[in-house]
Amino acid sequence: MDFQELLKIMEALRSEKGCPWDKEQTRESLKPFIVEEAYEVIEAIDESDPEKIKEELGDLLFQIVFQCQIAKEKNEFTISDVIDKIGNKMIARHPHVFGEANYKTTDEVLVHWEKQKKLEGKLRESILEGVPAALPSLLRAHRLQDRAARVGFDWEKVEDVLKKLDEELKEFKEALKTKKQDEIQDELGDIFFMLVNISRFIGINPEEALRKTISKFISRFRYIEMNAAEQGKKLSDMTLNEMDRLWDEAKGKRRNEK
């Protein structure tokens, strides 16, 4: 099946004799599916499963085709217009590949990228503009901090960042003593923000790091559940010490597998 056949399938689904559900969908109603499919692609990549990646990319592509079909019905644009737009944009933003420019470093490319955006009419009052508010908070914080760092708003060494983290932890402990939820929330937010700054500074994506930790947690907790079931016990009947012992066993098994 080629791309044109996929477009015909989408048109048929939205036609008078098409699927009732597909015909009812709007741009707004499809927004959750775009987000969901994008995260399923990420999950498939995390699992390093080519077949699953292929399937999930197809699901995400179909959401793009769906949005373009709705736009076509409104006489706004077609998927060909979308392809033209991104193709021309990539050529203009990569003169070192498609033109005579000679950028050798990532920093040089990023400087040109920002200049090209201005030429395209994307004028910004702040360098922080353009980072989507709908991004997950960890990822958004990372992107915003990266933007600020490009103009020199950054620490010189990781020790300075860790010192700032110690300050934020101290302020959080003081806020806990007040028992005022607003203050506690503010200080906890500052800690999260600093942890993101540390991860950015040392070149680690915080969203990726947390996803891996969540996967480890699920794996180890499932080990506790399975062992409890083998012993004919409910988790609620086990002591914390028993669960901690199984947790450590799970950690040991993971180390031995590496």
CATH 1.20.58.100, domain 137-204, yes or no? no
Residue 121 has pLDDT above 70, yes or no: no
**Candidate from 47-51, 95-99, 122-126, 200-204 with smallest mean pLDDT:** 122-126
Query: What's the rounded Cα separation, in Å, for the pair 13 and 31?
Result: 18
Q: Do domains 3-77 and 137-204 have the same CATH topology?
A: yes
Assign 3-state DSSP to the chain and report helix, strand, coil percentages, each to 5. Answer: 75, 0, 25
Q: What is residue 19's predicted lDDT score, i.e. its pLDDT?
A: 97
pLDDT digit string (tens) for 215-225? 999 999 999 99
| Residue-averaged pLDDT of the chain | 92
| CATH pick for 3-77 out of 3.40.640.10, 2.60.40.2470, 3.30.360.10, 1.10.287.1080 | 1.10.287.1080
Query: What's the rounded Cα separation, in Å, for the pair 242 and 228?
Result: 10
- For residues 29 and 135, which has the higher predicted lDDT (pLDDT)? 29
Given pLDDT bands bounded at 50, 70 and 90, which one contains residue 150? confident
pLDDT digit string (tens) for 12-53? 999 999 999 999 999 999 999 999 999 999 999 988 999 999
* CB-CB contact of 40 with 56 (8 Å): yes
Annotated domain spans of the chain: 3-77, 137-204, 207-257
Q: What is residue 123's predicted lDDT score, i.e. its pLDDT?
A: 62
Selection from 63, 6, 62 nearest residue 34 by Cα: 63
SS3 133: coil
* CB-CB contact of 55 with 79 (8 Å): no
Burial (CB < 10 A; 0-12, 13-18, 19+), residue 225, is middle
Give the distance, in angstroms, between the CA of residue 99 and the centroid of all CA atoms in the same chain. Answer: 32
Q: What is residue 243's predicted lDDT score, i.e. its pLDDT?
A: 94
Q: What is residue 50's predicted lDDT score, i.e. its pLDDT?
A: 97
As a whole number of Å, the end-to-end CA separation of the chain is 41
Specify the pTM: 0.68
